[in-house]
Amino acid sequence: GSDVSNRSIIAAKIDNYPRARPQWGLDQADVVIEENVEGVTRFVALFHSQLPDRLGPVRSARTGDLDILAPMNRPILVWSGGNGGVTNWVESAARSGVLVNFTAQKSPCYNRNSSRSAPHNLQLNPSCALDNAPTAGAARPLWAIDPAWTPPADVGAVPTAAFNVGMDGVSVDWVWDAESSKYLRSQNGNRHTAASGAQIAVDNVVELLVFHAPSPVDARSPNPITVGLGAAVVHRNGESIPGTWERATAYDPFTLRDANGAVIPLNTGKSFVELVRDR
């Protein structure tokens, strides 16, 4: 529907393998969550306020995705399929009403783009997915948002013009661009641009330090533990605010807190969440 407030979240698994770049539609995602997979990263891209004409390349899901998706109120999980173990987990979550299983194996709205080789060429039309997922729920906030918030003087916030995030198989750099009031993303020393040519630019970058366990269905696959608590760094308005993240259950939104235990809200706009290994 055209009413964005009741629109469901489309949660797409987007490839970040070198041959999958540049990605289609990634610059229009409201939220991107970057996960470590096997020796590289993959994105859970959340589309709500803007729907690109196509998004991708769409790739497989992981067991760790289910805890990430649970607070979103039956989001539409866009994925290419996966091994039998992951498929069983996703199908179970769909039966339980946690998500809509919009797998490319059984769903319309997907196509292969002939300009690239498989498996890095699977695209989805997100408007079509919304029209074909009537049981999806209205989006819910994933954390507190307050554009007027500024960090208290005593919580250790520091002006930060640039910072690096160490992910598996990719070196991620963010630069605060004061002119546009955006964080600009680079990968392995190159500007990270989408297929549109636009550089990935967001209003918030959140680093969540999370423990990575082996996936219960594939020991080679890292499974980020996003329920519980851990250290965090929130980057907004050119400042880095150290703190913690907490989530009592998978159905709860993330709560970010400063050194005094007060909530750190994010700015309005786009957010990028880095699931960093807590080594």
Residue 279: the pLDDT is 66
Instruction: Tell me the pLDDT tens digit for each residue of 116-148.
Output: 999 999 999 999 999 999 999 999 999 999 999
Beta bridge partners of 190: 187
pLDDT grade, residue 1 (50/70/90)? very low
Instruction: Tell me the pLDDT tens digit for each residue of 79-122.
Output: 999 889 999 999 999 999 999 999 999 999 999 999 999 999 99
Instruction: Tell me the pLDDT tens digit for each residue of 21-70.
Output: 999 999 999 999 999 999 999 999 999 999 999 999 999 999 999 999 99
Nearest to 102 by CA among 72, 70, 138, 134: 134
- Which domains are assigned to the chain? 4-131 (3.50.90.10), 158-277 (3.50.90.10)
CB 45 within 8 A of CB 14: yes
Residue 5: the pLDDT is 79
Residue 258: the pLDDT is 98
Residue 109: the pLDDT is 98
**pTM surpassing 0.85?**
yes
Stretch 206-225: mean pLDDT, rounded? 94
Give percent of the chain with pLDDT exceeding 70.
99
Kindly state the tokens that stand for 230: 């851990």
Give the span between the Cα atoms of 16 and 38, in whole angstroms.
11
Residue 2: the pLDDT is 53
